[in-house]
Structure 1
Amino acid sequence: MAAGAGTAAGALAVYLGVRSLESGPLEFRDAIYYPPITDDSPPWWSARVGEPMRVTDFAIWQGAPGLWRQVFDRGRPVEGTGFRVLAIRVPRDDTAFSAPTDVSLPQGVSLYYDDPARDTRIVVLYNRCTHLCCSASWHTSPVPDRLHDYVGSTPTYQVFGEDPIWCQCHDAQYDPMVLTKGRHPRSGLEYVGAANVHGPADRPLPVVPVRVESDILKGTMVDSRWYAYCG
Structure 2
Amino acid sequence: MSAPPRTWTRRDWIKAGVIAGTAAGAGVVVGAEVIAPLLAPPAPTNGTIRGATAVWRGLFRDGTYVEHTGFPVLLIRIIRENTYFRPPDPAPYPIPSGYNLYYDDPSRDLRIVVLFDRCTHLCCYPGWHIADGSIVPPRDYGTYGAAPPTWTVYGQDPVWCLCHDAQYDPLLLTADVNPVNGVPFVGARIVHGPGKFSLPVVPVRPINNVLYGGMPDPRWYTYC
Give the one of 74, 91, 102 matched to 1:86.
Answer: 74
Q: Following TM superposition, by how much is the alpha carbon of 1:59 offset from its aligned partner in structure 2, in angstroms?
A: 8.1
Q: Following TM superposition, by how much is the alpha carbon of 1:74 offset from its aligned partner in structure 2, in angstroms?
A: 2.2
Relative to the length of structure 2, the TM-score reads 0.77
Give the one of 95, 102, 112 matched to 2:102.
Answer: 112
Relative to the length of structure 1, the TM-score reads 0.74
Which residue is 2:56 aligned to? 68
CA offsets, 1:146-175, max 9 Å, x none? 544453341101111110000001100000
SS in structure 2 of the partner of residue 156 of structure 1:
helix
RMSD: 2.1
Q: Matches of residues 35-50 of structure 1 in structure 2 within 5 Å?
A: 35=41, 43-44=43-44
Structure 1 residues without counterparts, runs of 5 or longer:
1-26, 38-42, 46-57
Give the one of 175, 181, 204 matched to 1:187.
Answer: 181
Which residue is 1:162 aligned to? 156
Give the one of 21, 32, 55 matched to 2:38.
Answer: 32
Percent of aligned pairs with the same residue? 49
The alignment of Structure 1 onto Structure 2 pairs a total of residues equal to 186
Instruction: Judge conservation of contact 2:116–2:202 (CA < 8 Å) in 1.
Output: yes
Give the one of 194, 200, 204 matched to 1:200.
Answer: 194
Which residue is 1:143 aligned to? 136
SS in structure 2 of the partner of residue 30 of structure 1:
coil
Structure 2 residues without counterparts, runs of 5 or longer:
1-32
Q: Following TM superposition, by how much is the alpha carbon of 1:44 offset from its aligned partner in structure 2, in angstroms?
A: 3.3
Are 1:134 and 2:140 an aligned pair?
A: no
What CA distance in whole angstroms lies between the structure 2 residues aligned with 1:206 and 1:77? 25
Q: Which amino acid aligns with 1:86?
A: L
What CA distance in whole angstroms lies between the structure 2 residues aligned with 1:130 and 1:192? 13
CA offsets, 1:169-211, max 9 Å, x none? 1100000000001111121000000000001112100000001
What CA distance in whole angstroms lies between the structure 1 residues aligned with 2:138 and 2:165? 12
Say if 1:59 and 1:89 are closer, same or farther in 2 by CA, change over 3 A: farther
Moved over 6 A (4+): none
Q: Which amino acid aligns with 1:168?
A: L
SS in structure 2 of the partner of residue 70 of structure 1:
coil
